[in-house]
Amino acid sequence: MKKVWLLVIACRLMAYSYAQTGAKTSPVQRPKLVVGIVVDQMRWDFLYRYYDRYGSGGFKRLITEGFSCENAMINYIPSFTAVGHSTIFTGSVPAIDGIAGNDWTDQLTGKFYYCTTDSTVQSVGAENAIDGKMSPRSLLVSTITDELRLATNFQSKAVGVSLKDRASILPAGHITCGSHWNCFLV
């Protein structure tokens, strides 16, 4: 009987302790803006080699006020655009995230796949445009942008912008607000 009372007292003390520490915590400070920038073929050391040439509001500000992954290792081959963007924004590797290259051939069927081709979708403003039939359908995992949208109950916005469709669509994720590519070639 003593053991039962000791257990009850211990549980109550733990619950009281937890309630006291939980009440004193302040809410998490969330950033107002998160920007992910990937520059294809740009070596990480260029950020510091050309530091003096950057304006105060561009790369220089990102380096001093932002976050940079400087000890990142590429643990996969090949390092194509689609593979790199998928890996960066999912934290996964090609064997798991499903993006094995910019394009590939299915070994079983012999069918050719482009990483973002999706015949089930329509582009906005051009119903018959083949170039607009793109989505992250081949991406088998969620991206950091997907998780951000879920964590904020879809209050946050996620938009992908790039010259290349794969560099816009894959980082923006499955539940994006929009992906825009070729928008600079007007």
DSSP 125: T
User: What is the CA angle 121-37-43, rounded to 5?
Assistant: 120
Residues 6 or more apart whose CB falls under 8 angstroms from that of 165 comprise: 116, 131, 134, 179, 181, 182
- Catalytic residue status for 81: yes
Sign of the CA dihedral with 22 first, then 144, 139, and 97 last: negative
Given the residues 21, 81, 120, 145, the one annotated as active site: 81
Give me the active site residues, please: 81
